[in-house]
Chains A and B, each alone.
Chain A
Amino acid sequence: MYLIIVGGGKVGYYLSKSLLAEGYEVLLIEKNPRRAAFLIDELGADHVWVGDGCDSSTFAQVGMNRADAVIAVTGDDEDNLVVCLLAKRKFNVPRTIARINNPRNAEIFARLGIDVTVSTTEIIQAQIERALPLRSLVHLLALRRGGIQLVEGKVAPGAPADGRALRELGIPADALVVMVVRGDQTFIPSGETILRAEDEILAVTTPQSEPVLRRLLLGA
């Protein structure tokens, strides 16, 4: 499996290092010669290419057309987009993966045909939400289009949901509780299911209905 990584900053460097350790064929493209010299020392000259990753002549020289995936991890969303667009449309690379800084770009990249986006901002935010006992629903997964989210939360004592059947709660039509974890039991609820404090809830919801869902489950 031949992987081309564009952008030799911290993300690109550590990613290349760990993918090399996994046994993949990796080529890291970095345009700053000084940074590239460091990368060559660390990763070996076979795994680093000095050049502009947005330049199609670079792409031709590194054998882009036989790459199984291109991973763009520079610090600029627009550079990552251009790398992936060139890889996808010009060189028919089967998988393109872009790092994005502005989480709002995820939908745009998806619509322009980029296969996967990784938002560092969102990952860090999700980790923080998990680590801190904030009164909010944890975002587990954004489902591609339409902004629908899979969220997780724990029913708070005294919240509207505590001791009431799901049917009676007035959950908006575009939100759905899909799973309840109670102690070591996990089940798919029906309208008759009576929620209790400390129940862990998995739900899908649109951004519009999330505040309502949060108030019902968490009481805040």
Chain B
Amino acid sequence: MRIVILGCGRLGAYLARRFAQDGHEVIVIDRERQALEALGPDFPGETVVGMGIDAEVLRRAGIERADAFIAVTGYDNTNIMAAEVAREIFGVPRVITRLNDPLRAEIFQELGLKTVSPTALAVEAIRKCLEE
């Protein structure tokens, strides 16, 4: 699969290395060159420096040929906008968005985005621990 990942923080970098290990073609976008360096010199995928809400930058990352797009910057609204652009403008078949705000994640899920909220997942996990 050709996977474009937006945001090379802890989650983005981990996902990128993991998918590359699994043999996927991975392209990582971040606005900071330094963040991309965290992938290490042996990272087999591609990197692109730029703003993920800019359609030009997404095009440079080859979004038109992508099978999946994953938006995991630290900013919910950036992730939503990038995901909408990937889905509606470029027609990427699988688009996944990380949203810290569980409420926003719920709403945009209703509106058709595939959203993952680490906050909601952590709350669930912690509740389970307490119930054990």
Q: Which residues of A are interface residues toward B (Cβ below 8 A)?
A: 54-57, 76-79, 81-82, 85-86, 89-90, 102, 104-105, 108, 111-112
CB-defined interface of B48-79 with A at 8 Å, one 1/0 digit per residue?
A: 00000111100000000000000000011110
Contact of B77 among A82, A104, A108 (CB under 8 A): A82
A81-B81, A112-B88 known; A55+B104 contact, CB < 8 A: yes
- B101 interface residue per 8 A CB criterion: yes
B104–A108 touching, CB < 8 Å: no
Interface residues on B, range: 20 to 34
Q: Which residues of A contact B84 (CB under 8 A)?
A: 81, 85, 112
The B interface is mostly helix, strand or loop, or mixed, namely: helix
Contact of B54 among A76, A85, A102 (CB under 8 A): A102
Residue of B nearest to A77 (CB): B53
Complexed CA–CA distance, A86 and B80 (Å) = 11
Q: Which residues of B contact A105 (CB under 8 A)?
A: 53
- B15 interface residue per 8 A CB criterion: no
A56-B104, A90-B111 known; A77+B89 contact, CB < 8 A: no
A78-B75, A108-B85, A108-B89 known; A86+B54 contact, CB < 8 A: no
B53–A111 touching, CB < 8 Å: no
A55-B104, A85-B80 known; A104+B88 contact, CB < 8 A: no
CB-defined interface of B90-126 with A at 8 Å, one 1/0 digit per residue?
A: 0000000000010110010011000000000000000
A85-B111, A104-B54, A104-B55 known; A76+B85 contact, CB < 8 A: no
